[in-house]
Amino acid sequence: MSKKLKVRVTDLEEQLKRAVADYHNLESRVEKEIGNFKRSSLLSLVDKLLGVLDDLQRAENNLKDRGLTMAVNQFQEVLASEGIEEIKTDGVNFDPQAMDCVEMGKGKKNIIVKTLLKGYTLNGQVVRPAKVRVGQGGEK
Amino acid sequence: MGKIIGIDLGTTNSCVAIMEAGKPKVISSAEGGNLIPSVVEPAKGLVGDLAKRQMVLNPKNTIYSIKRLMGRRYKDKEIEKTKTMVPYEIVSGKDNMAAVKIGGKVYTPQEISAKILQKAKADAEAFLGEEVKEAVVTVPAYFDDSQRQATKQAGEIAGLEVKRIINEPTAAALAYGLDKKHNQTIAIYDLGGGTFDISILEIGDGVFEVKATNGDTFLGGDDFDRKIVEWLVEEFKKSEGIDLSKDLQAMQRIREAAEKAKVELSTVAETDINLPFLVQRDNKALHLEKKLTRSKLEQMTDELIERSMKPVEACMKDAKLKPADIDEVILVGGQTRMPKVQKRVSGYFGKEPNKSVNPDEVVAVGAAIQGAVLGGEVRDVLLLDVTPLTLGIETLGQVRTPLIERNTTVPTKKSQIFSTAADNQTQVEINVLQGERPMAADNKSLGRFVLDGIPSAPRGMPQIEVTFDIDSNGILNVSAQDKATGKEQKISIQNATNLSNEEVEKMKEEAEKHAAEDEEKKAKVESKNNLDNAVFGAEKMLTDLKDKLEDKDKEELEKAVKESKELLGKEEAGKEEHEEKTQSLSALTQSIGSKIHQAAQSAQSPQGETEEEGKKEKKKNGEETKEQAEEGEIVN
């Protein structure tokens, strides 16, 4: 076999290996991406539903209606059963992973004084960070 | 060799992309989005979304718009203006260059930008599962040497060798493949979050030359949001007499609703802005409910759009060009999704702009393409052909049954099991078809052959495996094998994939043109085939179960079969008639079948098959072929 041909064969072998490897990599990537896709399509729906929940909770706080409270609780239970949890913010340290600081106010430095909009996680991952007011410190 | 990533290092947002198997792919950040906010908190090492979320808390230590400082002297006019806008401290650093001071420590703009590039690098590495060492980074066309040098240094600090710095408009042109055209003049209209740029490029033999550039460094999508916010506040004041602008919480909700409404109005003509329980007055909750139409939004923001046209005119003047001299227009930046912006731009240049690539990502995509070219990756990619048209065979009733769909990458192979259409049929004809039409006769026949010697059997019993195999040279091998005898026939067709573009276009066009009538024709044939199958099943029942049938049932069934056959003979009979008859006949056979079945069960005797014939399952190479064997050819 001439030298040229040998080079060609090695070249082609390399290409074939690459193609097969690419394919295997693609297979695992596709699997991963389907997972991501499922998650992200669920996230976008959850995000929209959370907007409705916010409004229902605002109504609940204003109207103090027992029936409405029951409906809101039911809504929250459904979300919880899908792995959606509220991010705990009361009195904890500000954490940019899970919270978005919208304003500062009186209170201990770096501690959440008020939750302006509840944040949620889906199976431990942040769907929507909580919008919070953080203490500016200084006064006691 | 590792991949060279493309990074759009923006004033407001940054974006990273790579080329994979010849196609660009934008990488999602760890936080989920495709864009990384260009915000850095260097003391705590926060970058992107995380840094942005703590900006209010930590304004003096959170750096944004660092791009405005890149490679600039402290005394520059632009720095003067930026100083009045940002809450962090800008100082004069080494060699009188602008720098930022955080907690007593001075950072150069390069160091801050490096944090963003590092994040882009880390996200790309997480996606690729390998180390990334090289990048192509984009800069505005007006960046001078010192600013470009600074951008390159930022890359080095981030651990990236910047293989090339390219202009943002050039990257956008690359993303649209315009480098392959010759002697073109291109206008790139880039309306981002906070800045506006217009550039005129000239391409000759793959070389890009910036003819002129202009812009407004303080005009962007955020200004459009602000107009809606102002309008909402004004309207609320009019109706309720309350000024919301002092209420931080209400303003936060209004800002979000305004941006959402703006985005929605790019696709719909009208949207509702509903903010229930926005504020309280005398212990009563007030809601904001407004309808915003696209035309109202256009009126509100007209002034902003017009503001962008002044730099456009100035730029054209600098380039000594008239709008008619521009061959291509490209839109970049999220705000260009607004229909009015597109209309204004196309109105000025007198042609439709390129907008098919996501305007937020187009610059990063172009950078990734440049990276692939530099990395010689184009050579590594095996260029594979695709079949331009669907390949299939003719089946019962002159229907075209596809085996290899259009745009399948070759080499490829596909098998399917077919059967006979008549009792004791000993041969089948395979007619190989190419085209998009559902009826066989409307497609191009590439060749035909006969497989004979099939042992006599009732229709639907024999299993004939038809295999289409296109090799890398575009040669199509079609074989048909009788599974019972192993007897095989085949044909080899040259250049099955080799069609001129005109031919492909013509065939595709015809398929689209005739789609409706073709479907009708096919549906009619299918309904006829179904009735034929039902008749076959009923006749089989009559012969197989003749001893078990009650006289009344037998009579009824014979009558139904006779009627069905008459209908099948009528050329003018329609799909509905066929379907109706099929249904009534099937219902009849089923009811008789179940009656016999019950009788048989009590007697524990075997019974005949009443199901339609021709349903066979077949597994091949672990893969399931079509669940149902299709009726094959009727032989001449």
**Residue B603 near chain A (CB below 8 Å):** no
Could you tell me if B14 and B38 are in contact, meaning their C-beta atoms sit under 8 angstroms apart? yes
Give the count of Cβ contacts less than 8 A between chain A and B: 51
Give the DSSP H or E segment for A112. strand A112-117
Could you tell me if B397 and B571 are in contact, meaning their C-beta atoms sit under 8 angstroms apart? no
* pLDDT tens digit sequence for B217-246: 889 999 999 999 999 999 999 999 999 988
Instruction: Give B507's pLDDT tier (boundaries 50, 70, 90).
Output: confident
Rounded to the nearest angstrom, the gap between the alpha carbon of residue B632 and the centroid of all alpha carbons in its chain is 37
Please tell me the distance from the alpha carbon of residue B454 to that of residue B484, in angstroms, as a whole number. Answer: 8
| Distance (Å) from the alpha carbon of A73 to chain B's nearest alpha carbon | 19
Could you tell me if B371 and B3 are in contact, meaning their C-beta atoms sit under 8 angstroms apart? yes
Please tell me the distance from the alpha carbon of residue B406 to that of residue B410, in angstroms, as a whole number. Answer: 11
Higher pLDDT, A74 or B522: A74
Q: Per-residue pLDDT tens, chain A, 140 aa: give them.
A: 688 999 899 888 888 887 887 787 788 778 888 887 888 888 888 988 999 999 999 999 888 899 999 999 999 999 999 889 999 998 899 999 999 998 888 889 889 999 999 999 988 888 899 999 999 887 54
Instruction: Report whether pLDDT(B621) > 60.
Output: no
**Other beta carbons within 10 Å of B579:** 16
Task: State mean pLDDT over B522-537.
Answer: 85
Q: Ramachandran region of residue B283, left (φ > 0), alpha (ψ -120 to 50) or beta?
A: left
Residues of A in contact with B50 (CB under 8 A): 96-97
Return mean pLDDT, chain B.
86
Q: Which residues contact B389 (CB under 8 A, 6 or more apart)?
A: B406, B434, B435, B436, B499, B504, B507, B508
**Other beta carbons within 10 Å of B29:** 23
| Distance (Å) from the alpha carbon of A42 to chain B's nearest alpha carbon | 13
Annotated active-site residue B121? The verdict is no
Q: Give the model's pLDDT for residue B626.
A: 38
Please tell me the distance from the alpha carbon of residue B69 to that of residue B72, in angstroms, as a whole number. Answer: 6
**Which of A40, A59, A110 comes nearest B277 by C-beta?**
A59
Is B380–A102 a contact, with Cβ atoms under 8 angstroms apart?
A: no
DSSP B240-305: H---GGG-HHHHHHHHHHHHHHHHHTTT-SEEEEEEEEEEEETTEEEEEEEEEEHHHHHHHHHHHH
Search chain A and give the residue with CA nearest B278.
A58
Higher pLDDT, B194 or B196: B196
Instruction: Report whether pLDDT(B89) > 90.
Output: yes
State the number of CA atoms in the 13 A half-sphere of A31 facing the CB. Answer: 5
* pLDDT tens digit sequence for B60-88: 899 999 999 999 999 998 899 889 888 99
Q: What pTM, to 2 d.p., does this model score?
A: 0.68
Cis link prior to B59 (omega < 30° from 0)?
Answer: no
Please tell me the distance from the alpha carbon of residue B60 to that of residue B104, in angstroms, as a whole number. Answer: 11
**Which of B57, B249, B382 comes nearest A104 by C-beta?**
B57
Please tell me the distance from the alpha carbon of residue B491 to that of residue B266, in angstroms, as a whole number. Answer: 54
Lowest mean pLDDT among B284-293, B457-466, B535-544: B535-544
| Distance (Å) from the alpha carbon of B54 to chain A's nearest alpha carbon | 5
Annotated active-site residue B168? The verdict is yes
**Which of B53, B248, B276 comes nearest A96 by C-beta?**
B53
Is A97–B252 a contact, with Cβ atoms under 8 angstroms apart?
A: no
Could you tell me if B93 and B150 are in contact, meaning their C-beta atoms sit under 8 angstroms apart? no
**Residue B424 near chain A (CB below 8 Å):** no
Q: Give the model's pLDDT for residue B341.
A: 96
Instruction: Give B384's pLDDT tier (boundaries 50, 70, 90).
Output: low
Alpha helices in chain A (DSSP H): 3-63, 66-81
Q: Mapping DSSP to helix (H, G, I), strand (E, B) and coil, where does residue B112 land? A: helix
The CATH architecture that domain A84-140 belongs to is Roll (2.30)
Residues of B in contact with A110 (CB under 8 A): 57
Task: State mean pLDDT over B273-287.
Answer: 89
Please tell me the distance from the alpha carbon of residue B244 to that of residue B312, in angstroms, as a whole number. Answer: 37
Q: What is the largest CA-CA distance in chain B?
A: 110
Instruction: Report whether pLDDT(B606) > 90.
Output: no
Please tell me the distance from the alpha carbon of residue B125 to that of residue B607, in angstroms, as a whole number. Answer: 65
* pLDDT tens digit sequence for B127-163: 888 899 999 999 998 888 889 999 999 999 999 999 9
Q: Residue B273's closest CA among B290, B294, B251, B295?
A: B290
Instruction: Report whether pLDDT(B635) > 70.
Output: no
Higher pLDDT, B319 or B518: B319
Annotated active-site residue B547? The verdict is no
Instruction: Report whether pLDDT(B32) > 70.
Output: yes
Q: Give the model's pLDDT for residue B381.
A: 43
Please tell me the distance from the alpha carbon of residue B405 to that of residue B392, in angstroms, as a whole number. Answer: 8
* pLDDT tens digit sequence for B302-354: 999 999 999 999 999 999 999 999 999 999 999 999 999 999 999 999 999 99
Kindly name the residue from B3, B52, B67, B119 that is annotated as catalytic.
Answer: B67
DSSP B83-98: HHH-SSEEEE-GGGBE
Best residue in A101, A109, A121, A126 for a mutation probing chain B (most B CBs within 10 Å): A101
Best residue in A68, A95, A103 for a mutation probing chain B (most B CBs within 10 Å): A103
Task: State mean pLDDT over B368-375.
Answer: 89
**Which of B54, B248, B276 comes nearest A96 by C-beta?**
B54
Kindly name the residue from B8, B111, B394, B633 that is annotated as catalytic.
Answer: B8
**Residue A30 near chain B (CB below 8 Å):** no
**Residue A139 near chain B (CB below 8 Å):** no
Annotated active-site residue B471? The verdict is no
Q: Which residues contact B422 (CB under 8 A, 6 or more apart)?
A: B459, B634
Instruction: Report whether pLDDT(B627) > 80.
Output: no
Residues of B in contact with A36 (CB under 8 A): 28
Instruction: Report whether pLDDT(B622) > 60.
Output: no
Instruction: Report whether pLDDT(B630) > 60.
Output: no
Residues of A in contact with B54 (CB under 8 A): 94, 96, 101
